[in-house]
């Protein structure tokens, strides 16, 4: 069964610095999709960025980028030039390719606090 683990419970950084959040996953499928979501203090959950397992290039969207290390089953989220409003809970999630359920399996999340 697929499993997603985020080992960092919380991280605190100073504004304008770079932060990396870790995520490791387990799957039997050779093809899969990895997602990162952000949950704000209000509870809203929004999609940030996706990595397709068959792509070697790391995905980048705005000041979010991924560090995909397939041999290590690892997908880190990198936020550059952090801002106060980046303070939130970040979830890593995975979907196996050979599924018709659309199901995403989520990690427990990492709380990011960005301080002035």
Residues near other proteins (CB under 8 A) are 4, 6, 33, 35, 37, 43-47, 50, 52, 91, 95, 97, 99-109
For the bound state, the minimum distance from the C-beta of residue 75 to other proteins, rounded and expressed in Å, comes to 15
Q: Minimum distance from CB of 49 to other proteins (Å)?
A: 9
Give all strands (DSSP E) within the chain, no chain letters.
3-5, 10-14, 19-21, 24-26, 32-39, 45-52, 60-61, 64-69, 74-79, 88-96, 105-106, 110-115
Nearer to other proteins, 6 or 65 (CB): 6
Of the two residues 50 and 70, which places its CB atom closer to other proteins in the complex?
A: 50
Alpha carbons 12 and 53: distance in angstroms, whole number: 29
Which residue, 72 or 100, has its beta carbon nearer to other proteins? 100
Pull the structure tokens for residue 102.
Answer: 């659309």
């Amino acid at each position: 069964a697929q499993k997603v683990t985020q080992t960092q419970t919380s991280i605190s950084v100073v504004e304008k610095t770079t932060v990396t959040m870790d995520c490791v996953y387990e799957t039997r499928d050779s093809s899969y999709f990895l997602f990162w979501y952000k949950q704000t203090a209000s509870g809203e959950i929004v999609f940030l960025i996706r990595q397709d397992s068959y792509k070697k290039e790391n995905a980048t969207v705005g000041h979010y980028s991924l560090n995909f290390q397939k041999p290590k089953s690892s997908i880190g989220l990198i936020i550059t030039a952090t801002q106060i409003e980046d303070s939130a809970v970040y979830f890593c999630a995975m979907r196996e390719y050979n599924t018709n359920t659309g199901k995403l399996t989520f990690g427990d999340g990492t709380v990011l606090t960005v301080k002035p």
